[in-house]
Structure 1
Amino acid sequence: MKAIRIITIIILFFITGTAVLHAEKEPKKQPAPAAPSRSEVKVPNSVLTITKENTYPNSTQDQPYLQPSEWAQKLIETSNVDIENPNLIKILNESTVNSAPTIGLRATIYLGEWPLNYSSTETSPNWEFQKINTNYFDNRGGTANHQIHYVQESQKAVKGGLTAKVPHAEDVQKMMLIKATEKSNLPLAFQTIVGAGTKKDQVYNISPRRMGYLYAYAPAINEKGKVTYGEVYLVMKGTKRSIVVKNVTSQGVGAWIPIQDHVHFGFMATETPR
């Protein structure tokens, strides 16, 4: 009887120990990260795409996002400030540091002052950013409706840009373009061109005794936010490599970014010239 009890205790101990061991080995489940919020811009019916009709083929604007290499990603994760600048990430991707242990190795390498990240606070559209064309017909002497449609009379280049001077403007523009595109879900570029002879088939009626004006506008996104700057150092201690950012500053910044291959139309019929 005593032997049976001893065997039973051993079996229970083994089962309990195994359960605890499995519990220790099983990784704790982390809560799923919240999906990033996306404030997609709603395009009104008065805005039409001209991607197929545009006689000037705008090149598709590839977003300047650069995927960090495995080594660069590990290095970025050591930084005390978020790093999103594509140009800085490119430099880290193209750099290699020997990780072999070196007795007494201590080095701090200054990589320069960089705009490190951009935080967007507002992404709003201006559908009449720049007037690019006017089609006109005088039907004051007519007895029936006259139909007109959009025909681009001359080639127009629409340029955006930062609303104020900031250090490293090109890097800042790239980060702002990425965020504005993600939030608006629209094809954005700091320059878009509408070619001469571009047409749309949509018809606008001008009644008798009236003059008709069809205005075409290039729309744009007004992007506002904050850019963070800092002095970047690569710190090496033995086999450890890390990034340290010093003298961190922030600055408000704004930009106009045209919406590529989109046109906003405004039609007016009037008895008097405009």
Structure 2
Amino acid sequence: MKRHLIILKVFILLVFLSIPATETAAKKENSKPKGLEVPSSVVNISKENTFANPTPDLPRLQPSNFAKELLESSKIKIENPKLIRMLNESAATKSPFSFGARATIFLGEWPLNYKSEETAPNWQYQKVNTNFYDNRGGTGNYQIHYVQEAQKIIKGGLTAKVVQAEDVQKMMQQKAYEKVRLPLAFETAVGGGTKHHQVYNIPPTRTGYLYAYAPAVHEKGSLTFGEVYLVMKGSKYRIIVKNVTSQEIGAWIPIQDHLSFSFEARQ
């Protein structure tokens, strides 16, 4: 009898211990970014694209221990990967002879961080191709499919002029990717001769138009700038940010290796 009670208690304990773990796992699963819901008219052409687009540049630079200490000392959040890289490369030499030394070094004015407020897709951002066939003299359906007639370069960009635009673009691209989970690039291309197998029927007495569009996301948010100073006092270092400003900024960022199709049959 005692043995059965011990087994029962162990079983109940294991059940109770498993509940928090299950709930935690569920919470983690629900917290994972699901990405953007892609409509059925949008297809991935990464395998068919005759132009080999480079992998989107999404910097995930990890700060060194020294850089991490500096970043944590700043009252303003710093996310600029270029500035973080510079701090990494500066890897401090904390000399034992530096006690009593004082210095303030101006590192320049930087875009420090970007806060995303809205990320919205435009599935027909830019038309890249039109396939046409005249079946008005036909007696049955004519089938057409997408064939890219000429190479097309699709460019995005910021909606306002800012200093160090490339740094701003990288921060905005990273934040947008975290939301949509699709390959984003400020410049991408569709190669001539790219095809897709989806067939569209043009009835007799009709003309058929198959349009292909490059999709993009419109990213909008707030950008923070500031003057960055490295302050040394003895063997201790810290970052001070002065003259902090912010501005609203937007950007169009094309979705790489994706096309949105639209078909029309006209009389």
TM-score normalized by the length of structure 2: 0.86
1:113 aligns with 2:113: no
The amino acid across from 1:175 in the alignment is: M
1:48 aligns with 2:61: no
For structure 1, which runs of at least 5 residues remain unmatched after alignment? 1-31
Residues 141-168 of structure 1: per-residue CA shift (max 9 Å, x gap): 1111110000000000001110111121
Match of 2:252 in 1: 256
1:90 aligns with 2:100: no
In structure 1, what is the Cα distance between the partners aligned to 2:58 and 2:164? 18
Match of 1:26 in 2: none
In structure 2, what is the Cα distance between the partners aligned to 1:73 and 1:104? 23
Bigger drift between 59-68 and 174-183 goes to 59-68
Bigger drift between 96-105 and 135-144 goes to 96-105
Match of 2:216 in 1: 220
Match of 2:53 in 1: 58
In structure 2, what is the Cα distance between the partners aligned to 1:100 and 1:168? 33
Would you identify which runs of 4 or more consecutive aligned residues in structure 1 move more than 3 Å?
Answer: 34-39
> After the TM superposition, which residues 177-256 of structure 1 pair with which residues of structure 2 at under 5 Å, given as runs?
177-256=173-252
- Offset of 1:65 from its aligned partner? 2.4
1:77 aligns with 2:72: yes
- Offset of 1:239 from its aligned partner? 1.7
In structure 1, what is the Cα distance between the partners aligned to 2:87 and 2:183? 29
- Offset of 1:37 from its aligned partner? 7.3
Q: Is the 8 A contact 1:41 1:124 kept in 2?
A: no
1:152 aligns with 2:148: yes
- Offset of 1:98 from its aligned partner? 2.5
Instruction: Compare CA radii of gyration and give the structure with the larger one.
Output: 1
- Offset of 1:258 from its aligned partner? 0.4
2:43 alignment partner, SS class: strand
Residues 69-125 of structure 1: per-residue CA shift (max 9 Å, x gap): 111111111001001000000100000322234332111111111000000001110
In structure 2, what is the Cα distance between the partners aligned to 1:124 and 1:244? 35
Aligned residues between the structures: 239
- Offset of 1:39 from its aligned partner? 6.3
Match of 1:162 in 2: 158
- Offset of 1:38 from its aligned partner? 3.6
In structure 1, what is the Cα distance between the partners aligned to 2:102 and 2:135? 82
The amino acid across from 1:82 in the alignment is: K
Match of 1:5 in 2: none
In structure 2, what is the Cα distance between the partners aligned to 1:269 and 1:96? 64
1:117 alignment partner, SS class: strand
TM-score normalized by the length of structure 1: 0.84
Q: Is the 8 A contact 2:129 2:148 kept in 1?
A: yes
In structure 2, what is the Cα distance between the partners aligned to 1:175 and 1:56? 26
Q: Is the 8 A contact 1:232 1:246 kept in 2?
A: yes
RMSD across aligned positions (CA): 1.5
In structure 2, what is the Cα distance between the partners aligned to 1:167 and 1:149? 45
Match of 2:16 in 1: none
1:157 alignment partner, SS class: strand
Q: Is the 8 A contact 2:67 2:91 kept in 1?
A: no
Residues 182-220 of structure 1: per-residue CA shift (max 9 Å, x gap): 111000001111000000010000111111100000000
For structure 2, which runs of at least 5 residues remain unmatched after alignment? 1-23
In structure 2, what is the Cα distance between the partners aligned to 1:81 and 1:264? 41
